Amino acid sequence: MKAGLSMVRDVLSDWCGKHMKSYPPTVIHITDGESTDGDPEDLADSIKELGTSDGHCLFFNIHVSSNEANPTAFPSREGGLADSYGQLLFRMSSEMPPHIISRAQEKGYGLAARARCYVYNADPKDIVNFFEIGTRPSFLVER
């Protein structure tokens, strides 16, 4: 995970430097949460600090787990998540900016303050919604 996120950080750093007047990149990370090459949290933080004149990069996580825990979409705290991998990915995820919150609410999600761009054990409908909420261009200018 660290090696992959390191490469993402390098690519995005270069891209942001060349496209400062663009909407910032969105990273959608799909994982089981287990990093076999060390703690990736600092790398995720460094990616979220990158950005353009329009804001910071957004870091979304889709956590696919064999754990039987209930699905969770856009949580606002890590305490309710079933395992340490879920808690780590929650911390790595960006807080949802207002335009993303608005789109999620339009999809019927009731969000608490400080909701994160994160889903845990999502069902197929939530995964599709997650991609639409995070990538749909219709709200890029609706801010």
- The 10s digit of each residue's pLDDT in 76-113 is 999 888 789 999 999 999 999 998 999 999 999 999 88
Q: What does the pLDDT look like over 108-134, one tens digit per residue?
A: 999 988 999 999 988 888 888 899 888
Tell me the average pLDDT across 71-80.
90
Domain count, the chain: 1
Q: Over 90: is that where the pLDDT of 1 sits?
A: yes
Alpha-carbon gap, residue 83 to 62, rounded angstroms: 15
Q: Domain of 17?
A: 2-138
Residue at 92 is within a domain = yes
Residue at 134 is within a domain = yes
CB 98 within 8 A of CB 143: yes
Residue at 106 is within a domain = yes
Total residues belonging to the chain? 143
Task: Count Cβ atoms within 10 A of the Cβ of residue 59 and give its class: 0-12 exposed, 13-18 middle, 19 or more buried.
Answer: buried
Q: Over 70: is that where the pLDDT of 138 sits?
A: no
Residue at 143 is within a domain = no
Residue at 127 is within a domain = yes
Q: pTM of the full predicted structure?
A: 0.89
CB 93 within 8 A of CB 59: yes
CB 26 within 8 A of CB 134: yes
